[in-house]
Structure 1
Amino acid sequence: MKVFHRKISIPAYVIFIVLLLGILEIGYAMWGQQDMAQGTETVKAAEAEPLVNEVKKVVWWHSMSGENGRIVDKLVTNFNESHKDIKVEAVFQGSYFDSLTKLKASMGTKLGPTMVQVYDIGTRYMIDSKAITPIQTFVDRDKYDISQMDEAIINYYRVENKLYSMPFNTSNPILYYNKDLFKSAGLNPDKPPVLYADITQAATKLTKEGVTGAYFGTYSWYMEQFVANQGAEMVNQGNGRDGLATAWQLNGEEGVKALTWWKGLVDSQVAIHSAGKSDGSKKAFTEGKVAMIFDTTAALRDILNSVDGKFEVGTGFFPKSSEASNGGVVVSGASNWIMNSKSDAEQQAAWTFMKYLSEPEQQAFFHVNTGYFPITQKAYELPIVQENMKQFPQFKTAIDQHNAAKLNKATQGGVLGVYPEARKLTENAIGQALSGQLSPQEALDAAALDINAKIEAYNQTVD
């Protein structure tokens, strides 16, 4: 049987196309493998090397309003312009109390700030919250020199020999008085009264023809300063610095003496008693209706602007009893804290910003535009501060008063976990005493009883 073979003829162009497709397929395969290899190396490199130009955002919660808030915004703007790798976003959160309340609500969430300004009386709570990174950590890591800073200010925020927060705005209460009214009453306008008896004598002479001698806002802060100015501690356990405080002590001899004197002014109708704090007194003072008030040195710039030359504003030390010899005013104001819920890089950026705020140039700028006094000694050497002192000598009063205070546990200030609550109860007691509902001793004893119960409950939660 014969087998026939048929010869098949394939056109040349078909063979060419097949060969071309094969070559292309091999090329694509080789190129894909190379690209994958390069892509893998790129990913590995990206994982290994952080972005050098990444901008770290720092959210700063603060309580500076009005003109002080505008000065804070200026500081932030200047910092951002000079630090391209960090962007600080300043967010006003209302009063100190409101801000701390919001902070408590944000703990345990991602909604909180990187750093927060907390008033002095929030110190114990912030430490016990375990939500912060102590500033001492950054100080030790950078070998940051804190000897440049005011010792008394640093000491307030240092507990058990550890610096927990960085001071920012520092103040103390001073006496503001109307020099023109002093002259017309036959008083020396260049010699402000210092002792309780001197205040009483001046207020009596100044009260006439629609003018009241004094108006002191019902503020616990003043009672605390009265006690410290006599060298007494606000709470036990070394003012809460040798251990958790267990007893509120404003109902002691020093507190009763101060409140009894205050009530005497009101009963004699040479001082105004009004429910509320110092806002009403400041308005009455700038309008020339009262001759003497207490207020924070941080209000100095605002008071000078409000008076606007209508009369000459005098400033003097916060008053004390004639028996006082070992006391002084306590550092007040606020400090900045770093929250430990943020990344190490973000915390480090916040620390960089804190150091910037502490520089002499920034502190000098903040001082002359607000009234808060500098936390760094070198700020006083700068021309802007020296020129401001010459033009407005009133700024020097708070600084001299601060430097005159004895350095002891009384003037270092008390730390207490329920400090804001204690202040509210003390203010109620002041009102009850000044209005005659209770005697000064009875009112302060009742407040101490309630405060001590709150202290005990707080200490149990900490334990």
Structure 2
Amino acid sequence: MGKKKVSALVLATTMVLLSACNVNMGGGDTASKPADAASKPAGSSSSAPQKVVFWHAMGGSNTKVVDQMVSDFNASQNKIQVEAVYQGSYDDLLSKLKTSMGSSDGPSIVQMYEIGSRFMIDSKTITPMQNFIDSEKWDVSQLEPNIAGYYTFGGKLYSMPFNTSNPILYYNKDLFKAAGLDPAKPPKTYEELKAAADAITKTGKATGANFAIYGWFIEQFFANQGSDYVNNGNGRTSQATESLVNNEAGVKTLAWWKDLIDTKAANNLGRKTDDSKKAFSAGQVGMILESTASLKGLVDSAAGKFEVGTGFLPKPADAKEGGVVVGGASLWMMNNKPNEEQKAAWEFIKFLTSPKEQAYWHINTGYFPITKKAYDEDSVKDNLKKFPQFQTAIDQLHQTKLNTATQGAVMGVFPEARQIVEGAIEEVLNNKKSPKDALDAAAKEITTKIQQYNKTVK
């Protein structure tokens, strides 16, 4: 999952410049549509295969997984040749993409993290996936609806989900036992988590809990209470104009979080999720929130030391019905490429969504399969036996009911909004402001930036 923030200044400046210059970064109406039935099949115009360039931000061991999938596709046929290019972090990738816009130097397909979706649409540089889906009546029902839902706007799927995750509660079963808690029953509510964390801290063996100061978690807590993060249907019925981060869901969550810290039921290790994971793996804290993509690593790091349990993201006992929002990234088709190249890229995207490839992707990265039939693959079934904790993630995803809250908020300044919210959390946990005052100030600042951004894309 992408966890680094894009420089909001770069994003805003780019959009202002584009607006001021009235540059159409797209390839025009013709290039924004997939090749029609009369077009030649990809690679048929000459003996040379059609080249497709795929930019991505999957580093570390995930780079090898991407490269293997690309190699498998290239070996499966001889008309299309995909070249995968690792571009560094999401920040680096977005910066390079902006530089390439308006030129022929950019990719055919680009991976973009979820909070960059509004920018990608507003840039007018992409061809919606729905065009290709409609062109050949591709069965979109094969996709996980709660994953596809994030990237669907106005009933149209704009990008193809790729690496997908959401947060779950990880807990140390051994510490639960030592505190007299049932290790088979993770806390489901804010109130139950507070009680469990208190019990663990009182044993003197560890601190009850730790949550990294990460804006993504706050967004998830909103969705889990059925609460929108911005106005206008979470920015989905029309463009968001106001932040709602200071509503009841936000204040209640931050007050609960502060109480955990004040009563020593939890500690504050700052913004780095890696620090939270290290403390958990060392047995220093009993519970953390973390991405489903971290499951294998956390289970492996605890091997021989303690047993890892998993639970749903907690919410207030009196919360409205909600669920989790998917994180990660999706694949976007750039519209300044010839129809033949776009159609070739679409063939590669379809290959990636196949059950076999999704099974391979899931097992080797920890991300969700985006295709429902991937769960029927023997390799996935075997992996679930090895890591039964992942069933929690699957159940949480499937039990989430799709609505504007769980689809996720959409705004053009999302990366910067996350940083503003993280600053507000820090102010509260460090006793500089009350939850209401900190979130009121954050909402005002985010609202101003949303409205400034909106002016650049009118």
TM-score band w.r.t. shorter chain: 0.7 to 0.9
Which letter does structure 2 place at the counterpart of 1:381?
D
2:160 counterpart (160, 166, 176): 166
2:51 counterpart (45, 54, 57): 57
1:135-150 → structure 2 map (5 Å cutoff): 135-150=129-144
1:152 counterpart (146, 153, 157): 146
The yes-or-no answer on 1:133 pairing with 2:103 is no
2:344 counterpart (324, 341, 349): 349
2:93 counterpart (82, 99, 117): 99
Residue 289 of structure 2 aligns to a residue in which SS? strand
1:221 counterpart (189, 200, 216): 216
Cα shift at 1:147: 1.1
Q: Retained in 2: the 8 A contact 1:233–1:414?
A: yes
1:42-441 → structure 2 map (5 Å cutoff): 51-207=45-201, 208-209=203-204, 211-441=206-436
Mapped partners of 1:177, 1:409: distance in 2? 30
Which letter does structure 1 place at the counterpart of 2:179?
A
Cα shift at 1:432: 0.8
Cα shift at 1:101: 2.5
TM-score (norm 1): 0.87
Cα shift at 1:411: 0.8
Is the alpha carbon distance of 1:212 and 1:71 closer, same or farther for their aligned partners in structure 2, counting shifts above 3 Å? same
Moved more, 184-193 or 94-103: 94-103
Q: Retained in 1: the 8 A contact 2:251–2:435?
A: yes
Mapped partners of 1:162, 1:169: distance in 2? 20
Q: Retained in 2: the 8 A contact 1:135–1:163?
A: yes
Residue 192 of structure 1 aligns to a residue in which SS? coil
Mapped partners of 2:208, 2:288: distance in 1? 9
Cα deviations by residue, 1:280-303 (Å, 9 ceiling, x for unpaired): 101111111111111100111222
Cα shift at 1:240: 0.6
Residue 328 of structure 2 aligns to a residue in which SS? strand
Cα deviations by residue, 1:199-258 (Å, 9 ceiling, x for unpaired): 111111112435111110000111111111111101111111111100111110110000
TM-score (norm 2): 0.88
Cα deviations by residue, 1:298-322 (Å, 9 ceiling, x for unpaired): 1112222322332111111011000
Query: Structure 1, unaligned stretches of length 5 or more?
Result: 1-48
Which letter does structure 2 place at the counterpart of 1:320?
K
Q: Retained in 1: the 8 A contact 2:44–2:79?
A: no
Residue 84 of structure 1 aligns to a residue in which SS? coil
Cα shift at 1:50: 6.3
The yes-or-no answer on 1:452 pairing with 2:447 is yes
Which letter does structure 2 place at the counterpart of 1:138?
F
Moved more, 66-75 or 282-291: 66-75
Cα shift at 1:85: 2.0
Which letter does structure 1 place at the counterpart of 2:318?
E
Q: Retained in 1: the 8 A contact 2:149–2:402?
A: no
Which letter does structure 2 place at the counterpart of 1:189?
P
Cα shift at 1:324: 1.5
Mapped partners of 1:429, 1:229: distance in 2? 20
Query: Structure 2, unaligned stretches of length 5 or more?
Result: 1-42
Query: Structure 1 vs Structure 2: percent identity of aligned residues?
Result: 55
Cα shift at 1:102: 2.3
- Give the structure with higher Rg (CA): 1
Cα deviations by residue, 1:160-192 (Å, 9 ceiling, x for unpaired): 111110111111100011111111111111111
Quote the residue 2:24 is aligned against: none
Quote the residue 2:31 is aligned against: none
Mapped partners of 1:458, 1:83: distance in 2? 44
Q: 4+ residue runs of structure 1 moved beyond 6 angstroms?
A: none
Residue 76 of structure 1 aligns to a residue in which SS? helix
Mapped partners of 2:53, 2:69: distance in 1? 14
Which letter does structure 1 place at the counterpart of 2:238?
G
Higher relative contact order (CA 8 A, sep 6+): 2
Quote the residue 2:22 is aligned against: none
Quote the residue 1:21 is aligned against: none
Q: Retained in 1: the 8 A contact 2:53–2:107?
A: yes
Q: Retained in 2: the 8 A contact 1:132–1:338?
A: yes
Quote the residue 1:33 is aligned against: none
Cα shift at 1:93: 1.9
Mapped partners of 1:406, 1:426: distance in 2? 26
Which letter does structure 2 place at the counterpart of 1:199?
L
RMSD: 1.5
Which letter does structure 1 place at the counterpart of 2:306?
F
Cα shift at 1:51: 4.0
Mapped partners of 2:287, 2:93: distance in 1? 31
Is the alpha carbon distance of 1:173 and 1:50 closer, same or farther for their aligned partners in structure 2, counting shifts above 3 Å? closer
Cα shift at 1:52: 3.3
Mapped partners of 2:304, 2:51: distance in 1? 44
Which letter does structure 2 place at the counterpart of 1:374?
P
